[in-house]
Amino acid sequence: MLDDRQTAAPWPTAYPQGYAVVDVETTGLARDDRIVSAAVYRLDAQGNVEDHWYTLVNPERDPGPVWIHGLTTKLLEGAPLFPEVAAQLSERLADRVLVAHNAAFDWSMIAREYARASAVAPVAQRLCTIALSKELRLPLPNHKLESLAAHFGVVQQRAHHALDDARVLAEAFRPSLHAAALGGVRLPLLECRPLTEWSDSPVTPRVGYQASHGQTSWRASRRLPACPYPNPGRYDKDRPLMQGMRVAFSGDTSIDRELLEDRTVEAGLHVASSVSRLTSLLVTNDPDAATSKTVKAKSFGTPILEESAFTHLLRDVAPAPSSE
């Protein structure tokens, strides 16, 4: 059961006055993918649920990984288009901090949908519950939503269903918020910069790959946080990735590069801007390209992985060895 006790100390005045816990299911992870369902739980300043909302969204394209979200073309064909639900979503996001598990992803998908609709999402800040769990030093085995839910005794009923995932996150966020307030923890709030212009690039027919060359950037460049774990060395194909490994990327990726880097950092890995003898692995979809990174990786004997293999391994990154 969740701990419903109120904090003994006065509630931090610097904390936000309301939250919108969000989950979206999508056709994929690339910049041209679309939202197929969205859910929002509105919470007050102390994390109490005020109301919730859910909608299907017709993506006007193949629904993508049906085996994950369960939403087929037939189920979505009569659903509203995003511009038809944008006003309802705006009403639930306005004047609130957007909260999501891997918030960079949910925010990027929402911002793009608004930009396609020639509108702007009314969101100024976001909070990632992965980042908050790190600030609280929760003893989680990994950064999956199911692990956060289990820690707080929240039962998942329909994983990868936007409404249930949003409910689970809302229930896990409330005790996290109270723990932060009790401990005087500063919430890891990040600015949300909406897109102000958008142009769709054609969806390439190649399954699982969409080139990013020449695409308009949707976020300003930023410095990634330092990795808190020591480098355990090179990746071994017979073992999982390990926290602290140095990962370099080269060439086009199907997932937006900045989102891919965020996912890498959130898994406890270090994103390297170049390849050296200390690099654990290089991720590229074109290992035969004569780029400086691939040439160096081959000369150093650095392992090279394709993006799809790397993102699969990101699901279960081994914890860094204990220093004790």
- Distance between CA 251 and CA 211 in Å, rounded? 9
| 53 and 105 both lie in a single domain | yes
Domain boundary among 166, 191, 216: 191
Q: Is 87 inside a domain boundary?
A: yes
Q: Is 298 inside a domain boundary?
A: yes
| 107 and 33 both lie in a single domain | yes
Summarised one tens digit per residue, pLDDT across range 42-58 is 999 999 999 999 999 99
Number of domain units in the chain: 2
The range of the structural domain enclosing residue 241 comes to 225-323
| 35 and 183 both lie in a single domain | yes
| 155 and 32 both lie in a single domain | yes
Percent of the chain topping pLDDT 90: 60
What value does the mean pLDDT take over residues 284-311?
Answer: 90
Summarised one tens digit per residue, pLDDT across range 225-245 is 788 899 999 999 888 999 999
Long-range contacts, 75-78 (Cβ 8 Å, 24+): 76/36
- Distance between CA 216 and CA 230 in Å, rounded? 35
| 163 and 239 both lie in a single domain | no
CATH number of the domain that residue 183 is part of: 3.30.420.10
pLDDT the model gives residue 6? 47
> pTM (2 decimals)?
0.66
| 312 and 231 both lie in a single domain | yes
pLDDT the model gives residue 197? 64
All residues at 6 or more sequence positions from 86 whose CB lies less than 8 Å from its CB, including other chains: 113, 114, 117, 119
| 169 and 231 both lie in a single domain | no
pLDDT of 262 > 50? The answer is yes
| 154 and 45 both lie in a single domain | yes
Instruction: Place 324 in a pLDDT band, splitting at 50, 70 and 90.
Output: very low
pLDDT of 29 > 60? The answer is yes
Q: Is 95 inside a domain boundary?
A: yes
Q: Is 100 inside a domain boundary?
A: yes
